[in-house]
Every structure is written in structure tokens, then in C-alpha cells.
Structure 1
Amino acid sequence: MRLIINGDDFGLTEGVTNGIIKGIKEGIITDTSALANSDYFFDAAILAKEEGILSMGVHLTITFLKPVLKGLKNIVDKDGYFYRKPVLIPVPYDYIEIENELRSQIEKFLSTGLKLNHLDTHHIFSIMDEKIFKIVVKLAKEYNVPIRRDFSLCDNEEHLFDIARENNINTTDILLFQSGKVVTKEYIIKNIEKYKNEGDITIELLAHPGFVDEKLKGVSSLTYNRERELEVYLDSEIKEYINKNNVNLISYSNL
């Protein structure tokens, strides 16, 4: 059994970034994905390279902060910000704007010299519409990287999986996602026990570790739960349990 523990929102704030780095360097976090449209992104990229973290994913977004591109009209509000929830984005969707913005986020990430190792999506927006999912698949194919198994969280999982498979897009076998809840040691152990005898499978645990700072309080409703999660990923007992059960901790670079 192989396990990816991916810390979302790298670069969101200094506190979140430092928390993820600590979890990678001292704990069981194995990967991360960056918000390329955040104000702190370039500083976070420099810090990552200083810490020897040279590859990660892009946490694509059309529902958080401002876009990378200027002049967007249909997927932003009157103040130029993305709508905060997928259901608020006006329909019909402007697929051209969405694709151009997502590609720009990837290109901004690559401009830092970091290596791209996967794509995932904020608020799992990729599954809200089949054409949007196809855009994410198209970009994954273009940049030759895996995607997160977001489609396992929707009703038409098999259909979307077929689209990814037809385009030779790699992903994990299972995605573990605690929506609105803190990941606990018990949750991790329960799932390892559930899947450890399933053979050569790869699982991703979607994580939200980090330290709380004033900037985070101003932009996100997910605050102190990040610190609670980080404590789990740094806990010596969970490290020992993983070692004893022969769980192979990997990043998306190993997928």
C-alpha cells in the first residue's frame, strides 16, 4: 500500500506555508499543492526551494481570491474576485475563460522553477461540470502530470474516470477526504487497516495542515483546524504505526 498525504493551499499565507513545510520535513506529509494566485505565492516558492522542496502540485482555483489573468468578465464578481463557491459562478460557464485562467495559474507556478507533479482543484470544482473536468484532464495531459481523484466524490465517478483513462491520465486508486472535519489519528489508522491488505494500491489523503496567522483569518474560514491536523501529521505514534504496517509514503512524483 502506498500513501500520499497532500497538504493543500501551499502559498496561501506565510503560516499555512510554514506549517506544510514543517509537516513535510518533520512529519508524514509527503506532498503539497500551491495556490498560484495568492499574494504570498512567490515568497512561498522561494522558501520551498530553500527547504529542498522542488516539486509539488498546483491547487487550481476558480473560487478563491483573484485570478492570475486580467480582464476576465464571466467568472469573477464586480470587484474582480472569484465567486467563493462553485454554485455561485454564473451559468452558462465561460469555458474559454476557465481554461485560460487555469493554464495561466500553471504557467505562473512553472515560472518559479519548481517542478509540477500533479493537478488538483480547490473546492473540487472540476466535478461540477463535465466540460470543466475535461479542461482539467486536457491540462494534465498537456503538462504530463497526474490528477487528484476528485471524481470519486461525485455520482458519475465511472464516467469521469473513463474520460481520464481515455486520455492516459494517472491518478490514485482511492481519495480520502474529510469534508469539514479534522483528520485524526483514528481516521488515518482506520483507513490503513481497511486497505492495507488490498494489494498494490495507492491512496491519497487530502490534508489541510498549517499555522494560523492574521492573514489566514481574513481570507479563509478554515483556520485552527489546520493546526489540529498538523499536530496529527507530526505525531510520533502515527509515524510508528505507519512504519510498523509497511505503508510506503510517497509523493505524486512517485506515482
Structure 2
Amino acid sequence: MKLIINADDFGITTKVSEGIIHGMKQGLITDTSALVNSKHFEKSSVMALEAGITAMGVHLNLTFMAPMLQASVVQSIVDESGRFYRKPGLIPLSYDAREVRAELKAQIEAFLDSGLTLNHLDTHHGVSLKDAQMLDLVMELAREYNVPMRRDDLLSPELSGKIAEAGIRSTDKLCGDPAVPSLQEPWLRGILDEYKDTDCIVEIAGHPGYADEELRSISSLVDEREHDLALLLNPALRDYIEEHGITLISYSQL
């Protein structure tokens, strides 16, 4: 078994970024993906580079804060205030695919301008699963930038298999429990037990980080992030992974 443990939302606040970096240097986090349109991304990218973290993914985003592009350029995917809708289901079905592609590409280009290396794409709130057209747009970008993408299609039976059919590198399995807002050790150990003797490449995605008052004002996940970080810093869990011959990798190694 090869295992990617990915920390979503790098850059949402500097404290979350600080926690993710700590988890990558001292714990089990092997990769992360950045919210590039966050006002904290620029500082967070500098923090990562200074810590020797040179590659990560982009957490492509259409549901948090404001777009990179002017709201007038992406009118079909923003509300009256010029900000993104908060959930994929609120994005109008009549959205303009050209506007979506332009915004997502702007996020990727801003990421590359930071000096970081792009090693995969995934999406905030799983927006790639909104519909088949949205998934196609993200897959087009993965092909254009020649990077892997998260296997979100495994969470949507009607879209399952499209990423593999497109020849895009990915994991064999994405594991998460949508009913629980944070990683739980019994569940995580169960995933390890299920796949430890297989050749599967598995991703476990979580939301580790340090919480602060700013985070409370912008995110529904606050204390849960500190819970995730503590779990992924647990040396007993690292011992368990090593004892069972599980190989920790990043998306850079796909």
C-alpha cells in the first residue's frame, strides 16, 4: 500500500498553513493543496518555501471568498456581492463553462507565480462533482498542466471512472467519511488495515491546522482542524504505518 495524506485548505489562514507545515515536517502529512484566492496564500507560500516544501496542489475553488478574476468577468459563478456561492449546489446550473475555466486557470497561474511547483489538482467542497461538465473542465486542466488530480469521481457513481478513462494520473482510492467533519483514529486505522496488504495507492484527505479567531469567522471547520493535526502528529500512528510496511508518498511521486 502506498498512502497520500493530503491537507486541504493550505493558505486559508496563516495559522492553518503553519499547522500544515508542522504536520508535513514532523507528522504524517505528505501533501497539501492551496486555496490560492485566499489573502493569506502569498505569505503561506513563502512560509512553505522557507520550510523546504517546494511542491503542492491547488485546491481549485469556486465556493470560498471572491474570485481571482474581476467579478464582472465571471458573472455566472458569483452572487450579487461579487463573491462565490458557498456551496456547489448553489452555483447556477446555467454557469458559463468558459468563465469557470478562466477562473480556475487564473488560480493555477497565480500559484505558479509563487515559485511553488504544482503536483496535483483537487477541488474545494468537491466542486468538480457538481456535474459532468465541471469534472470535464478540471480534467482538461489536469491534462494541460500534466499533473495528477484527486479521484473525486469515486464519490459520485454516475461520474465514476471518467478520470481513469481520460488517462489522468490519480490514486486508486480516495477515502473520507462525509458524515464526520474530522479524521477519527479508529476509522483511519480501519483504512490502513483494509489496504495494507494490497498494491493500492490510497489518498486520505483531511483538514489539519491551527485554529484562531480569524478561522472561526470564515470556516465551519475550526477545532476539528486541531484534532486532525494532533492525530497526524501521533507517533504511535507512524509506528503502526511503519510496522505494516505502508509507504507514505506525495502526489509528486505518482
Q: Which TM-score band (shorter chain)?
A: over 0.9
Percent identical residues: 46
Q: 1:166 to 1:178 in 2, by over 3 A?
A: closer
Within 1, Cα distance between the matches of 2:185 and 2:165? 37
Deviations 1:66-115 (A, max 9, x none): 10001221100111110001111122121111110000000000001100
Partner of 2:224: 225
> Counterpart of 1:191 in structure 2: which amino acid?
I
Q: Is 1:60–2:54 an aligned residue pair?
A: no
Aligned to 1:243: 242
Question: Partner of 2:124 in structure 1?
Answer: 122
Paired letter, 2:79: D
Structure 1 position 13, deviation (Å): 0.0
Structure 2: how far apart are the matches of 1:56 and 1:104?
A: 17
Q: Quick check: 1:2–1:248 contact (8 Å CA) kept in 2?
A: yes
Deviation track 1:34-75 (CA, whole Å, cap 9, x = no partner) reads: 000000000000000000000000000101111000122110
SS at 1:204 equivalent: strand
- For structure 2, the residue ranges without an aligned partner over 5 or more in a row are none
Structure 1 letter corresponding to 2:245:
N
For residues 128-165 of structure 1, give each alpha carbon's deviation from its aligned partner in whole angstroms, at most 9, with x where no partner exists: 1101100000000000000001010012143xx2x323
Q: Which residue of 1 aligns with 2:7?
A: 7
For residue 47 of structure 2, what is the amino acid of its counterpart? L
Is the Cα–Cα contact under 8 Å of residues 14 and 213 in structure 1 kept in the other structure? no
- Contact residue 61 and residue 122 of structure 1 kept, 8 A: yes
Give a deviation string over 1:153-202, Cα, whole Å, max 9, x none.
012143xx2x323432011001011224321221111111111122x210
Do residues 234 (structure 1) and 233 (structure 2) align?
A: yes
Q: Equivalents in 2 of 1:221, 1:17: separation in Å?
A: 17
Whether 1:206 and 2:205 are equivalent positions in the alignment is yes
CA distance in 1, matches of 2:172, 2:114: 30
Q: How do residues 6-155 of structure 1 correspond to structure 2 at under 5 angstroms? A: 6-70=6-70, 71=72, 72-155=74-157
In 1: Cα distance, 2:185 partner to 2:244 partner: 14
Residue equivalent to 2:168: 169
- Post-superposition CA distance 1:228-250 (Å, at most 9, x none): 11100000110110110111000
C-alpha distance in structure 1 between counterparts of 2:54 and 2:220, whole Å: 29
Q: Distance in 2 between matches of 1:54 and 1:138?
A: 24
Q: Tell me, what secondary structure is at the counterpart of 2:47?
A: helix
1:103 maps to a residue whose letter is K
Q: Which amino acid aligns with 1:94?
A: D
Tell me if structure 1 keeps the 8 A contact 2:76–2:94: no
Aligned length: 251
Aligned mates of 1:181, 1:78 — CA distance in 2: 30
Secondary structure of the equivalent of 1:175? strand
Q: Secondary structure at the match of 1:119?
A: strand
Report the 3-state secondary structure (helix = DSSP H, G, I; strand = E; otherwise coil) of the residue aligned with 1:74. helix
Separation in structure 2 between the aligned mates of residue 185 and residue 177 of structure 1, nearest angstrom: 12
Structure 1: segments with no counterpart, 5+ residues: none
Three-state SS of the structure 1 residue aligned to 2:75 is coil
Do 1:86 and 1:123's aligned partners in 2 also have CA atoms closer than 8 Å? Answer: yes
- The answer on 1:183 being equivalent to 2:186 is no
RMSD: 1.0
Output the TM-score relative to the length of structure 1: 0.96
CA contact (8 A) 1:177 1:206 kept: yes
Partner SS state of residue 126, structure 1: helix
